Structure 1
Amino acid sequence: MELPPPSIDQLSKLAASNLPPSQLFEILSRYETDARLLLAGNDDPQLLSLFYSTFFFVHLLTEQVPEARALSQRLPEALRHQDPYLQSCLTLLRAIWQNRHDQIYQILRNLPWSEGLQPLVQRYESFFQDQSLIAVSTSYEALRLPTAATYLGLDSTAAEQGDPAVIKKFTDCGWKWDAEAKLLYPTPIVLQSIDERPLNGIHDAMKLLGNRRN
């Protein structure tokens, strides 16, 4: 199927769509040739910025972190050093590479992102929460509430204080809370494929986790 020419409007629509990440990746992979042609023609830097930042997040949503790193090496030098949104992407990539959960959530929530990219930023935050929830649920037999909160980008101060609202986010999905020991006991969750991951964030993941107990 022939794709429409790449444009800011087209890329924004893709970013805001509910297409599975694998389909987004296929479309944007085909567009990369067009992006290089635009670069050769010294065309719209705003369009190139949106293309590369969108493609970057789709790499993350398809769990291709090494490939996202390779993409960052293909960025036009001028954009790499001058574009604030691609600078944010590179900062996020470093935090992911270092497995710094606390920094990842701060970067996603606080660094500048273009308006057209916002849906993918929010989608990736939800995906990363789901991914972290799955990893924690299968890696720990027990953990402290502040530790669990850090993995999911929840309020660390509230977690330190044993906030019932934070505890409830975990007990709602079937985890056990030992108030005396102040420990959470996770229930494992395993999903079969990337495109089956919930799109609506931690609440959907927790619902699924709770359902797995039945």
Structure 2
Amino acid sequence: MELPRLTIEQLSKLVASNSPPSQLFEALTEYEQEACLMTEGSGRSEGAISNPELLSLFYSSFFLVHLLTDQMSVTPHGAYTMITILTDPNRSEAHALTKRMPTKLKHEDPSLQNCLALLRAVWQTEHGQVYRILRELPWPEAVRPLVQRYESFFQDKTLISVSRSYETIRLSVAAFYLGLDQDTAAQEDPNIIANFTKCGWKWDPDTKLLHPKPIVVRPAENQPYNGIREAMAMLGARAS
């Protein structure tokens, strides 16, 4: 079915639709040629850009959907989480998209600058920086549904990775990985502890250590989740 013309209204509606990331990716892929035509001239850095607000919204949304469709895949490595993108981070689809963004807009637009900062933080596995960018930097209201979806997706991927990478872990460290309040965790807050024990993890009050239970995602569930509660729910428990 032919998509409606690319407009701010249509893009905002698409982003807020809560459609599966794969469907969003397909739709935005179809829209990219139309977006490219809005940058006139042979050189992107010198060409005039028509409708920069729409282009900013389009490329910000498309970038976040790249992350939601796991164009950068997170895999455990020892006690750490490593990012693997094929064999070269510069060949990732998310990175390639940033190269197709209009150069002038990419260097001046705050939302696209946020995307570039997020790409670096995710690639370098700077968990605290990822949460800071998603939660504290100014994002356009129209993009916020995807920002929130990616934060939940990142938490879920991290939770699964940590569950497989650690035999024991301090509560404050586990809280850091998931973007939970570390000061509250340091006080052994029962609500934070419950976030993990309801995943099947064990809490040892004597050693003050968590004993993670590896989370196994069945093939049918190997899709982006709707948040940390969904990751926990697939083990038959709901986080408080």
The question of a shared fold, defined as TM-score above 0.5 by the shorter chain, is answered with yes
* Band the TM-score falls in, shorter-chain normalisation: over 0.9
Residue 11 in structure 1 maps to residue 18 in structure 2: no
Aligned counterparts of 1:116 and 1:82: Cα–Cα separation in 2: 19
1:55 alignment counterpart: 62
Deviation at 1:197, TM superposition (A): 3.4
After superposition, residues 73-88 of structure 1 pair within 5 angstroms as: 73-88=99-114
Residue 137 in structure 1 maps to residue 137 in structure 2: no
Deviation at 1:173, TM superposition (A): 2.1
User: Identity, % of aligned pairs?
Assistant: 60
2:37 alignment counterpart: 37
Q: Is the Cα contact below 8 Å between 2:68 and 2:224 reproduced in 1? A: no
Deviation at 1:25, TM superposition (A): 0.7
1:132-151 CA-partner distances (Å, limit 9, x unpaired)? 11111111111111111111
Aligned counterparts of 2:221 and 2:137: Cα–Cα separation in 1: 26
Deviation at 1:209, TM superposition (A): 2.8
1:29-82 CA-partner distances (Å, limit 9, x unpaired)? 111100001112731000000000000000000111321111111111111111
Unpaired segments ≥5 residues, structure 1: none
RMSD across aligned positions (CA)? 1.5
Structure 2 CA distance for partners of 1:54 and 1:95, relative to 1, 3 Å:
same
Aligned counterparts of 2:221 and 2:21: Cα–Cα separation in 1: 8
1:196 alignment counterpart: 223
- Give the counterpart letter for 1:136 in structure 2: V
User: When the two structures are aligned, how many residues end up with a matched partner?
Assistant: 210
Q: Is the Cα contact below 8 Å between 1:187 and 1:209 reproduced in 2? A: no
- Give the counterpart letter for 2:112 in structure 1: L
1:98-134 CA-partner distances (Å, limit 9, x unpaired)? 0001110011000010010000000000111111111
**More displaced stretch, 183-192 vs 6-15:** 183-192
SS in 2 for 1:196: coil
Aligned counterparts of 1:106 and 1:88: Cα–Cα separation in 2: 11
Unpaired segments ≥5 residues, structure 2: 41-47, 73-91
2:116 alignment counterpart: 90
SS in 1 for 2:142: helix
Residue 181 in structure 1 maps to residue 207 in structure 2: yes
Structure with the higher fraction of residues in helix conformation: 1
Q: Is the Cα contact below 8 Å between 1:141 and 1:185 reproduced in 2? A: yes
**More displaced stretch, 32-41 vs 85-94:** 32-41
Structure 2 CA distance for partners of 1:44 and 1:194, relative to 1, 3 Å:
farther
Runs of 4+ in 1 over 4 A off after TM superposition: none
Aligned counterparts of 1:98 and 1:193: Cα–Cα separation in 2: 29
Deviation at 1:207, TM superposition (A): 1.7
